[in-house]
Structure 1
């Protein structure tokens, strides 16, 4: 482990908690490091493909690996907390490892991987079990000479249709086995017939709106390319801050490629056949006739009664963006001008969403809203939130995470049922009550993007990048998810951003490549060790291009009767992702302090279970941590330091925004958000982050632990938590490094705002060091698909250092302990439980202990 010769003092940041009582002198370098596991896993899988058959150790989520689908879905799509399932509920309880899966159906694949196969099923549709309605998959068995197949989930034998029949070989495999992806691939897409089309949904909020398309009480909705409604806040606050102008400019760039330095206009981010509608709103709603007109701004139709919303036109409401290019360009160029906003300070955001729902009713699609003002008029009108700082630590704290008007949740549920996803870009200067308005995005599976005190110079590039990701990534709409498992297991709970229907199906207005769902399971009966346990997830959806499909993901898991096997094949990344979602889901019902205590108990319980059942012969005073969970304490501490769960005062809007993001993140993004990636830029080797002359590949530098104990005053460091990136500049940094990276040779000449105006975020210098750092930034941008905010923080000079130091999760900060102290606390709990026999939870546990 690298030891700095001159470590920096602890950076200025929020106060943390100190360990109470005597603590043994422990070398911080000797405690388990999450970075070691990340780097070792990266070395193993960078040149070796991962074969998905059961029985293999799985790459951790942060590794770039190539998965070969052998009948089990890639861990990118379906990841479980242990790849050896406990055979009994008692064993599962003894191990304390939650049986959970993280499902990310449309996750981006590595470019080197084979794409998900697409299977045409014709009018008969995919073969399904007559008992449980599970889908045909590689783990089914063929019986009766191929005339029947036995479901691996429920054991029912289903007749094979004549069109699907094929003879068997000597191994009871179909002769066409290799020609049918659904029989040998763990993840497959089926093109489905009319019977799978989305049904028409009836309004469940009486007289909420007058739908544009009359809905029949019977019949199905024909799939079509996804339509978009873009709604812009044109109140005075939104226009004066230039938020609306920046949003309009970003949308124009994405539709038509207006950037002047591009040799040719890029292709549109929208699928062929997609249409768009544009709405603006302040205290009234404004619809626009976008049909091609003469050289003038398109006609505007105003709906003044925001309590009784209707769509005032049919023709020209939705148009092809290429056919109506001139009209759309003129409209978006005029929206957001300061003089247009006047002094209208109110914004009917709820009514604008109802207008989007009315416009898309009967077809589904996506509503993208740009809002900057608290909605004080119209549907779901809200008043200015009360002072929130006095609520923390009291029973009223829970009210900060609940919508203050039921209209917002009802609106979200109705959008989800209609196959409409709502995404919001929020650029406010005052509290906007994310707990209320954000529930619409959460329930529909949409996105939240957050720009407090919007500054065009700082935030416009990030807004454009996030909007591009929103429109360009794989996105489906009208989605329904069902998770099935084999006999002996059952689904107990879901966590994520969705609407759970009465039939226990999960409904999403939209579901995209960045969204994931957590599912927990429990035992219904004992599992047979000689058989596999199975999980199958099916997502019925409409593609952005207008094709109705079912994506089916399958997983076969080994069953174990020994605790050692459970821990050996445990997956910490899945456990951490499940734990933080479960914790955040309790915010509306429990106090933050109680949730933090539960997290510590869960962490200690897992480590205690390993001591009891796998390392009982060791002395109680010795801390024994299983290999799979070596970094669990630091990730548990990181959860308590995350913005939704940290103890100190955090603005409720920030907490709710961060909670929404974490509840929908995939495993990889969650792990990198909780434990930010820290790099020492000043120590880059000459060949790192530069293309290899022979292969053309770029090797990224190794990570370092997120603590000031490993930093030096003459260093340059980059930290990245998936939300923002910060470059920290030490006081004693070499003038040559500054010259090579920023084109200045004095730290006082470094402009902390220089990164605002450059599309590459850093000056494009010809030096090797500049090229290396810009390559690292470009690699990170390509990984996540969008460009986050980049800040500069000079040691003891810039305010951004506070945010930087809060991201050093191993330090004593964020109203919590340092990693070293927290590890001692966990050890103390485990030692007390081993010596006294006390339970970690319940009345005889450690709740209320003075730490």
Structure 2
């Protein structure tokens, strides 16, 4: 092997610096080190010195002193081409380094008036003006100061010198670029959350086909790291948790790719680990066998794998969906069935006590069921339905198939629950449609004068379970009061003195063992429970939410529901209707498999863990998220690893299927690439689940401390490993560019109702927020912890109009009240609620155009329905509000609140609590939070 000196042209020499593990390239005329690069020690088998090495042109890059870079930091300086071209990677897709001078601290949140000037100038073009022209123009948000540090001209040439050097990544794939951001001078930019996660850069030829769908979309399955460390010690050094975020059954909107279905029941699985064939296997033995990408086992290919059953002729293997799509569904043969596929079964438990009837819940619920009968999944006409009403007694309804007759049977014995009739209580929806419609139209009238106060929810649940346990299905509970009679009776344990203290976490734990025990019985019988809760007073959501938690259902909460308020009725009817119409997976079990050396260590979400890694889910609703933590048990030698999630289920139209979701991720032994591949959205989703779980087993304070400590750990690891400061003090707080929004997401979690330090949050609201934190998919969870904030009065003229991809939304603003203006109209939304904030100096024309009212004084704050008026600005604002409601998956419907700047204090504080970068009560502002992190990291 030629020595480095022999490879260099005259006038240059190479010297190995053993102390810093790098080569110094020295210009012999001056005797100064001109540039350097870390390499392996001489004699290392991975030593790339055999590559052609040439120094930069003379004068291209001169330093009078040696620059002390940490080994892992060099890629941040040398850029993307330092490891040479890769045939499977497009350089155009890689983000280019931007060496810009960070914004000065005083420009952290300067008001964005540049857009206002533009808006004001449009008066002559038919655009209204709702404010006086500003006296001074500030740089708009995200705009950099004029002084920018230009990249030194020799950097790119320097990077080119190492074009063929392969360091860190396994198998020669393109490495991740690491860019460092100083959090002290980089305010959060909301647009960063719209950027995709770091690209998954697999070795060339990892997939056996060139299909663009060979990698699972992040909306189905994403990992906290898109490059997997090869050793546990490397993962531990980064302090970044390794986990998968799963939404295997996500809803599809217009334009989304549907999941391909393999209908020929030919299913190829590994004999050893039971992995399903996927785009990352390899064919051997002339294509007659395939090697598993998870365990390496050689398997025979089924004889009919290359046969087209539809045309009854030889088929094209490479056209099969399972070799081209990472998300695929197989129609299961009979060996996957313990019993014939069950029909969809719905049992409605409707609270008809005095408070439920008076609030209008009963009338709204029955009308919604009636209006959505055609939307309930019933393609095979096997769907069964039952209705049980309850107060302190239970009321069963017998419906005669083929007739409109129905009769009510009353059971007042709540201590020994029994079914009053063996048949006609659970009826076929198609055959008994007339009787069901007649009953739904009469239930509210039957109980209109009911003055009974109390709830036998526990016995009603037992009755519903007896009715459907031979089949399985979904119990949908609509309850308006605290259970008070029979099994599962609860007492009001709301204690204002405990709020904000260490005892508060006890209020978030189940008060009665009945609900967990009953939930486990339901899980065994393939019965799921979904709760709709409406109480105007304490209802113990924490206890009742146990049922959906262990049976894979969902909890919906409508505090102080009153159907006389149109907004309340619309929200409940919309969400209840969407739940009824939702295609659900029945009697499902889920298992996650991974390559050798990886093990699933813990699970978070709504399900019951039947064995060490088998998750039982009687019903799987759309858009419910799960988090699975992964442990590295053995050193990984493969160039990439594979994760595969398989869900065996029965569709609601009677077909047994297996949904398979496969992801492949490269491996790395380089810490800088571990950091550069981190997915901040997946990390925030995992930490939300872990925070809620910790708050239930420990204290809320422990949960908050754990979140803060994890952020400190990651920052400390990055500082010590990736920056020149190392273990010493520094004027910076460094983090990689792809994780620079993680601190503000952690701050959003700390300020979320489910975790926040406060003595003013009712236990029911906190328990419901925790249910959302553990079930929302990432797409809906991120705005829930980091809301969206838009300025409407001065938005660009195209916002609110139809563009190429639908309604054009305004540019998001940072979440600080410094952006609020007294003459402005702003929209704040967190995925659950929309606030329209009106400044006290808003001109009358703005109020007229949006609310059809003469002036600010006549505007009433609170829940409202936004009118659609005959003027362009009203139509644009209305379109933005509707787009906000439509753009996220799931059944939730966001209520709209009008918030006046000098209006009701509780409503103002609620809206302002969404602006998480501000200081609130005992909670720090973003700058204070960053300072706290800096003090801990540099301590």
Same fold (TM over 0.5): yes
Q: Is the 8 A contact 2:832 2:892 kept in 1?
A: no
Distance 2:915 2:236 in 1: 34
CA-CA distance at 1:566 after TM superposition: 0.9
Q: Is the 8 A contact 1:540 1:551 kept in 2?
A: yes
Q: 2:771 matched to 1:660?
A: yes
Alignment of 1:223-242 (within 5 A): 223-242=341-360
Residue 16 of structure 2: aligned partner? none
Query: Which one of 713, 717, 725 corresponds to residue 609 of structure 1?
Result: 717
Residue 49 of structure 2: aligned partner? none
Deviates more, 1:336-345 or 1:351-360: 336-345
Alignment of 1:421-440 (within 5 A): 421-440=528-547
CA-CA distance at 1:553 after TM superposition: 0.7
Q: Is the 8 A contact 2:372 2:581 kept in 1?
A: no
Distance 1:382 1:112 in 2: 47
Question: Normalising to structure 2: TM-score of the pair?
Answer: 0.76
Distance 1:814 1:444 in 2: 38
Query: Which one of 860, 863, 867 corresponds to residue 751 of structure 1?
Result: 860
CA-CA distance at 1:114 after TM superposition: 2.6
Query: Which one of 128, 139, 162 corresponds to residue 269 of structure 2?
Result: 128
Task: Describe the superposition over 1:340-383 as per-residue Cα deviations: whole angstroms up to 9, x where unpaired.
Answer: 45222121111212222222212221111110111111221112
Residue 504 of structure 1: aligned partner? 613
Q: 2:174 matched to 1:32?
A: no
Distance 2:871 2:475 in 1: 45
SS at structure 1 position matched to 2:780: helix
Flag the 1:287–1:817 CA change in 2: closer, same or farther, 3 A: same
Task: Describe the superposition over 1:131-153 as per-residue Cα deviations: whole angstroms up to 9, x where unpaired.
Answer: 11111111112223333322111
Distance 2:935 2:341 in 1: 59
Query: Which one of 227, 249, 254 corresponds to residue 372 of structure 2?
Result: 254
CA-CA distance at 1:2 after TM superposition: 7.3
Task: Describe the superposition over 1:85-141 as per-residue Cα deviations: whole angstroms up to 9, x where unpaired.
Answer: 11111110111111111000011345334311101243xx52211111111111112
Task: Describe the superposition over 1:726-756 as per-residue Cα deviations: whole angstroms up to 9, x where unpaired.
Answer: 111110112111111111131121133572x
Alignment of 1:106-505 (within 5 A): 106-109=249-252, 111-122=254-265, 126-164=267-305, 176-197=316-337, 220-255=338-373, 271-273=379-381, 274-292=383-401, 298-321=406-429, 323-337=431-445, 339-340=447-448, 342-390=450-498, 392-394=500-502, 396-456=503-563, 457=565, 458-505=567-614
CA-CA distance at 1:615 after TM superposition: 1.4
Distance 1:471 1:627 in 2: 43
Task: Describe the superposition over 1:157-186 as per-residue Cα deviations: whole angstroms up to 9, x where unpaired.
Answer: 22333333689xxxxxx9833221112211
Aligned residues: 747
CA-CA distance at 1:34 after TM superposition: 3.7
CA-CA distance at 1:586 after TM superposition: 1.0
Query: Which one of 858, 870, 875 corresponds to residue 771 of structure 1?
Result: 875
Distance 1:733 1:272 in 2: 57
Q: Is the 8 A contact 1:483 1:538 kept in 2?
A: yes
Distance 1:175 1:241 in 2: 62
Q: Is the 8 A contact 2:833 2:894 kept in 1?
A: yes
CA-CA distance at 1:724 after TM superposition: 1.0
Residue 625 of structure 1: aligned partner? 735
Flag the 1:339–1:553 CA change in 2: closer, same or farther, 3 A: closer
Residue 671 of structure 1: aligned partner? 782
Query: Which one of 683, 689, 700 corresponds to residue 592 of structure 1?
Result: 700
CA-CA distance at 1:5 after TM superposition: 7.7
SS at structure 1 position matched to 2:547: helix
SS at structure 1 position matched to 2:789: strand
CA-CA distance at 1:53 after TM superposition: 6.8
SS at structure 2 position matched to 1:126: coil
CA-CA distance at 1:480 after TM superposition: 0.6
Distance 1:223 1:380 in 2: 32
Q: Is the 8 A contact 2:624 2:776 kept in 1?
A: yes
SS at structure 1 position matched to 2:269: coil
Q: Is the 8 A contact 2:216 2:327 kept in 1?
A: yes
Task: Describe the superposition over 1:221-280 as per-residue Cα deviations: whole angstroms up to 9, x where unpaired.
Answer: 311331111110011121122222221122222226xxxxxxxxxx55655522321110
For CA contacts below 8 A with separation 6 or more, give which structure has more relative contact order.
1
Residue 750 of structure 2: aligned partner? 640
Flag the 1:782–1:473 CA change in 2: closer, same or farther, 3 A: farther
Structure 2: gaps spanning 5 or more residues = 1-107, 117-130, 132-181, 205-209, 309-313
Flag the 1:393–1:668 CA change in 2: closer, same or farther, 3 A: same
Structure 1: gaps spanning 5 or more residues = 9-26, 57-66, 168-173, 198-219, 257-266, 756-760, 833-851
Residue 547 of structure 1: aligned partner? 655
Q: Is the 8 A contact 1:254 1:268 kept in 2?
A: yes
Distance 1:176 1:435 in 2: 54
Distance 1:399 1:2 in 2: 40
CA-CA distance at 1:429 after TM superposition: 1.5
Which has the higher Rg, Structure 1 or Structure 2? Answer: 2
CA-CA distance at 1:425 after TM superposition: 0.8
Task: Describe the superposition over 1:307-327 as per-residue Cα deviations: whole angstroms up to 9, x where unpaired.
Answer: 222323343223344543442
Question: Normalising to structure 1: TM-score of the pair?
Answer: 0.83
Residue 802 of structure 2: aligned partner? 691
Alignment of 1:518-537 (within 5 A): 518-528=627-637, 530-537=638-645
SS at structure 1 position matched to 2:681: helix
Q: Is the 8 A contact 1:677 1:719 kept in 2?
A: yes
CA root-mean-square deviation: 2.7
Distance 1:804 1:486 in 2: 46
Flag the 1:594–1:2 CA change in 2: closer, same or farther, 3 A: closer
Distance 2:339 2:497 in 1: 48
Flag the 1:601–1:68 CA change in 2: closer, same or farther, 3 A: farther
Q: Is the 8 A contact 2:789 2:815 kept in 1?
A: yes
Distance 2:773 2:368 in 1: 26
CA-CA distance at 1:600 after TM superposition: 0.7
Flag the 1:367–1:622 CA change in 2: closer, same or farther, 3 A: same
Flag the 1:293–1:553 CA change in 2: closer, same or farther, 3 A: closer
Residue 263 of structure 1: aligned partner? none
Flag the 1:551–1:5 CA change in 2: closer, same or farther, 3 A: closer
Flag the 1:338–1:705 CA change in 2: closer, same or farther, 3 A: farther
Task: Describe the superposition over 1:646-673 as per-residue Cα deviations: whole angstroms up to 9, x where unpaired.
Answer: 1102211111111111111111111110
Flag the 1:294–1:152 CA change in 2: closer, same or farther, 3 A: closer
SS at structure 2 position matched to 1:423: strand
Q: Is the 8 A contact 1:416 1:443 kept in 2?
A: yes
Flag the 1:55–1:729 CA change in 2: closer, same or farther, 3 A: farther
Task: Describe the superposition over 1:594-625 as per-residue Cα deviations: whole angstroms up to 9, x where unpaired.
Answer: 22111111011112211111113476222212
Distance 1:127 1:696 in 2: 39
CA-CA distance at 1:336 after TM superposition: 3.3
CA-CA distance at 1:465 after TM superposition: 0.9
Distance 2:356 2:213 in 1: 52
Q: Is the 8 A contact 1:177 1:184 kept in 2?
A: no
Q: 2:822 matched to 1:713?
A: yes
SS at structure 2 position matched to 1:221: coil
Distance 2:805 2:699 in 1: 52
CA-CA distance at 1:388 after TM superposition: 4.8
SS at structure 1 position matched to 2:372: helix
Residue 4 of structure 1: aligned partner? 111
CA-CA distance at 1:502 after TM superposition: 2.8
Distance 1:133 1:381 in 2: 45
Residue 261 of structure 1: aligned partner? none
Distance 1:714 1:269 in 2: 49
